[in-house]
């Protein structure tokens, strides 16, 4: 061999997720990587040479299950403070919308986020991202949306990048300026949308914006306002995503599809026509069972329509202080199975293959040659256990680009 590989994992049970269905298991599997990319994923007996002559760094997985690194494609992990008080209020009967309309909700997190220095925000947010990583996440999407002015949105996006650098994981940052109306723009939502669009080019020029998102909802922004934000993103060639149809059917999924957006997220109230539009546009439906669970929602996303139309379904934590203080993507997978009746395999595919697509990434999500060597070794007896256990310490090691960042 001219080139030796950087590393080789042997004696692994690979969950490759190659193909459109099934775990794609390879027993007695081997995984080779070079320059951070997978160069071999197959049966040990198909290795081109004896392991010792292929790579210096050889790891014996001792029969452990190995999956692609998990991808959390929708989070708000960067924020100041918490909203445990609102949790208590909701348990007393107040609704999420009531609380938002009376000056709490997102805007209360905006106050705490604005008050925090960049370093303070980093320190407050880091443990949440670390918890996600330690439970198997190797790519983390993080949204802004609690700054709601140029400097504070920028601060959030910078902190998001710093956090992932510090943890050794990959980051995607999403600009969510259109998350809520800040108090200084009360009664002037259209003026605020002008400002959100005006701030975008500078944030993008600084390399802080991989995608643009908005909250299209009765307590968020109208379809017309969302459309203006999307037009500003498209003018710069930035892909769009949407908090769509979470509390009511605002036609969000169809609006997103009209822009060939990456994903419509939440989608509890999405109609059959909305599901068809997503399919047509090649967009992903991102299921967020943590928010569904915490808000004690009863309206299920149109799962049958998504399946019938073949809309890819991703699963994410939506980790945020209001609707989903959820710090484990595996737990989100479990909730997706229990509440939305996904199979454990669909949930894993939703947190890998389809999550990558929801971020517009083609280079990760499966254990196949040519993908990034991001993978997790698990202490489990079968893949369904990833969604079966509610919590628990199942990670044996997390590798990013082949390099171990958690565990042995
Ligand atoms: O995804 N729905 C809008 N945004 C978040 C909640 C944010 C918050 O309440 O702080 C969500 O559920
Ligand atoms: Fe969200």
CA 311 – CA 276 distance, rounded (Å): 8
Strand, helix or coil at 120?
helix
Among all bound ligands, the one having the nearest atom to the CA of 146 is 1
Phi, psi of 257 (to 5 degrees): -65, -35
Rg (alpha carbons) of the chain, rounded to whole number: 21
Residue 328 CB–ligand 1 contact under 6 Å: no
Q: Whose CA is nearest to atom 12 of ligand 1?
A: 323
Q: Is 293 annotated as a binding residue?
A: no
CA 170 – CA 160 distance, rounded (Å): 11
Most ligand 1 atoms within 8 A of CB, residue of 323, 324, 325, 332 to mutate: 323
Annotate 283-312 with DSSP letters as a single string.
Answer: PEEEE-HHHHHHTT------HHHHHHHT--
Q: Is 310 annotated as a binding residue?
A: no
State how far Cα 42 lies from the chain centre: 28
CA of 319 to the centre of ligand 1 (A): 9
Most ligand 1 atoms within 8 A of CB, residue of 72, 74, 76 to mutate: 76
pLDDT of amino acid 156: 98
CA of 303 to the centre of ligand 1 (A): 21
Low pLDDT (below 70) residues in the chain = 1-2
Query: End-to-end alpha-carbon separation of the chain, Å?
Result: 29
Q: Whose CA is nearest to atom 9 of ligand 1?
A: 322
The residue behind tokens 């990587």 is: 33
CA 148 – CA 184 distance, rounded (Å): 10
Residue 106 CB–ligand 1 contact under 6 Å: yes
Instruction: Single out the residue of 195, 174, 146, 177 nearest to residue 239, CA to CA.
Output: 174
Contact call for residues 215 and 179 (beta carbons, < 8 A) = yes
CA 139 – CA 314 distance, rounded (Å): 14
pLDDT of amino acid 408: 77
Phi, psi of 263 (to 5 degrees): -160, 145
Q: Which helix (H) or strand (E) holds 174?
A: strand 170-178
Per-residue pLDDT of 205-220, as tens digits, reads: 999 999 999 999 999 9
Q: Which helix (H) or strand (E) holds 211?
A: strand 211-216
pLDDT of amino acid 3: 78
Residue 323 CB–ligand 1 contact under 6 Å: yes
Per-residue pLDDT of 7-63, as tens digits, reads: 999 999 999 999 999 999 999 999 999 999 999 999 999 999 999 999 989 999 999
pLDDT of amino acid 1: 54
Q: Is 323 annotated as a binding residue?
A: yes
Phi, psi of 305 (to 5 degrees): -65, -40
């Amino acid at each position: 061999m001219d080139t030796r590989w950087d590393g080789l994992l042997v004696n692994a049970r690979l969950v490759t997720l190659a193909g459109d269905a099934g775990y794609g298991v390879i027993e007695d599997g081997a995984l080779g990587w070079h320059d951070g990319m997978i160069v071999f994923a197959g049966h040990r007996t198909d290795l081109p040479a004896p392991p010792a002559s292929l790579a210096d760094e050889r790891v014996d997985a001792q029969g452990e299950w190995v999956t692609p690194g998990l991808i959390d494609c929708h989070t708000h992990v960067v924020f100041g403070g918490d909203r445990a008080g609102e949790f208590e209020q909701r348990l007393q009967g107040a609704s999420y919308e009531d609380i938002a309309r009376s000056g709490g909700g997102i805007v209360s997190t905006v106050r705490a986020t604005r008050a925090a220095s960049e370093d303070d925000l980093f320190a407050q947010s880091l443990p949440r991202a670390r918890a996600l990583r330690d439970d198997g996440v190797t790519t983390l999407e993080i949204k802004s949306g609690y700054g709601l002015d140029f400097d504070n949105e920028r601060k959030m996006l910078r902190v998001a990048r710093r956090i992932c650098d510090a943890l050794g994981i990959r980051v995607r940052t999403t600009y969510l300026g259109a998350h809520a109306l800040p108090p200084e723009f009360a009664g002037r939502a259209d003026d605020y949308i002008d400002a959100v669009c005006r701030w975008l080019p500078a944030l993008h020029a600084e390399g802080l914006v991989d995608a643009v998102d908005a909250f299209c909802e009765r307590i968020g922004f109208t379809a017309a306002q969302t459309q203006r934000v999307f037009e500003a993103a498209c003018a710069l060639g930035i892909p769009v995503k949407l908090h769509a149809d979470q509390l009511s059917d605002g036609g969000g999924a169809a609006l997103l599809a009209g822009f060939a957006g990456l994903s419509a997220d939440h989608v509890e109230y999405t109609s059959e026509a909305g599901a068809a539009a997503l399919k047509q546009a090649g967009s992903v439906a991102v299921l967020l069972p943590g928010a569904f669970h915490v808000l004690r929602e009863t309206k299920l996303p149109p799962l049958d329509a998504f399946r019938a139309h073949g809309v890819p379904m991703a699963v994410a934590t939506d980790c945020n202080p209001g609707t989903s203080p959820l710090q484990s993507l595996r737990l989100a997978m479990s909730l997706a199975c229990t509440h939305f009746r996904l199979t454990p395999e669909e949930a894993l595919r939703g947190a890998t293959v389809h999550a990558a697509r929801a971020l517009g990434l083609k280079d990760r999500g499966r254990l196949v040659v040519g993908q990034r060597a991001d993978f997790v070794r698990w202490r489990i007896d079968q893949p369904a256990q990833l969604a079966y256990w509610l919590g628990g310490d199942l990670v044996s090691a997390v590798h990013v680009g082949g390099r171990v960042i958690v565990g042995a």
